[in-house]
Amino acid sequence: MPTQTKQKITLWEFFQSLGKTFMLPVALLSFCGIMLGIGSSLSSRDVLTLLPVLDNTPLQLLFTWMSKIGSFGFSFLPVMFAVAIPLGMARDNKGVAAFAGFVGFTVFNLATNFYLTTKGILPSIDPLVLKANNIQTVLGIQSIDTGILGAIIVGIVVFLLHERFSTIRLPDALSFFGGTRFVPIITLLVLGLLGLLVPLIWPWFAMGINGLGRLIHSAGAFGPMIFGTGERLLLPFGLQHILVAIIRFTEAGGTMDVCGHSVSGALTIFQAQLSCPTTHGFSESATQFLSQGKMPAFLGGLPGAALAMYHCARPENRHKIKGLLISGVVACVVGGTTEPLEFLFLFVAPFLYLIHAILTGLGFTIMSVLGVTIGNTDGNIIDFLVFGVLHGLQTKWYMVPVVAAVWFVAYYAIFRFAITRFNIKTPGRDIDNSTTSEKSAKAASSSKSGYDTPGILVALGGADNIVSLDNCITRLRLSVKDMKLVDDATLKNLRAIGVVHVNEHNLQVVIGPQVQSVKDELDYLIAQPSV
pLDDT digits (tens, 9 = 90+) for 223-278: 888 888 988 888 776 667 777 888 888 777 778 888 777 788 888 888 888 877 77
pLDDT of residue 12: 61
Residue 4 lies in a domain: no
Most confident of 88-92, 208-212, 215-219: 88-92
Query: In this structure, are 193 and 227 located in the same domain?
Result: no
Angle at 477 between CA 96 and CA 462, to 5 degrees: 105
By the 10 Å C-beta count (0-12 exposed, 13-18 middle, 19+ buried), 43 is classed as buried
Query: In this structure, are 429 and 446 located in the same domain?
Result: no
Query: In this structure, are 39 and 96 located in the same domain?
Result: yes
Residue 158 lies in a domain: yes
**What's the rounded Cα separation, in Å, for the pair 42 and 24?**
28
Contact 121, 133 (CB under 8 A): yes
Residue 289 lies in a domain: yes
Q: Examine the fold and report which residue of 433, 448, 469 is the final residue of a domain before the chain moves on.
A: 433
Query: In this structure, are 229 and 177 located in the same domain?
Result: no
Residue 256 lies in a domain: yes
Query: In this structure, are 453 and 416 located in the same domain?
Result: no
Q: Which residues does residue 471 pair with via DSSP β-bridges, in sequence order? A: 476
| Residue partners of 325: CB distance under 8 A and separation at least 6 | 306, 309, 310, 341, 344, 427
Residue 289: Cβ within 10 Å count: 28
SS3 category, 29: helix
Query: In this structure, are 207 and 233 located in the same domain?
Result: no
Residue 162 lies in a domain: yes
- The total domain count for the chain is 3
Q: Examine the fold and report which residue of 147, 178, 211 is the final residue of a domain before the chain moves on.
A: 211
**What's the rounded Cα separation, in Å, for the pair 372 and 401?**
12
Q: Is 332 marked active-site? A: no
pLDDT of residue 3: 44
Contact 339, 296 (CB under 8 A): no
Query: In this structure, are 22 and 36 located in the same domain?
Result: yes
Residue type, 213: G
Query: In this structure, are 279 and 344 located in the same domain?
Result: yes
Query: In this structure, are 202 and 257 located in the same domain?
Result: no
What is the arithmetic mean of pLDDT over 283-299?
88
Q: Please, which pLDDT band fits residue 438 given cuts at 50, 70 and 90?
A: very low
pLDDT of residue 443: 52
Residue 6 lies in a domain: no
Residue 176 phi, psi (nearest 5): -60, -30
Comparison of pLDDT for 402 and 27, the residue scoring more = 402
For residue 470, the 8-state DSSP code is E
pTM exceeds 0.85 = no
Query: In this structure, are 199 and 227 located in the same domain?
Result: no
Exactly one of 32, 312, 332, 472 is catalytic; name it: 472
Query: In this structure, are 312 and 191 located in the same domain?
Result: no
**What's the rounded Cα separation, in Å, for the pair 44 and 394?**
13
For 460-501, strand residue ranges (E) read 466-471, 475-480, 498-501
Residue 523 lies in a domain: yes
Residue 5 lies in a domain: no
Query: In this structure, are 234 and 182 located in the same domain?
Result: no
- CATH number for the domain spanning 482: value is 3.30.1360.60
pLDDT cut 70: percent of the chain above it: 90
Contact 476, 508 (CB under 8 A): yes
User: Considering the chain, what is the average pLDDT of its residues?
Assistant: 82
Kindly report, residue by residue over 14-73, the tens digit of the pLDDT: 766 776 777 778 777 767 777 877 777 777 666 777 778 878 888 888 888 888 887 787
pLDDT of residue 4: 46
3-state helix, strand, coil in the chain (%, to 5): 65, 5, 25
Structural domain range at position 389: 219-433
Kindly report, residue by residue over 376-399, the tens digit of the pLDDT: 877 888 888 888 888 888 889 999
User: Can you state the angle between helices 222-234 and 240-249, rounded to 10 degrees?
Assistant: 150
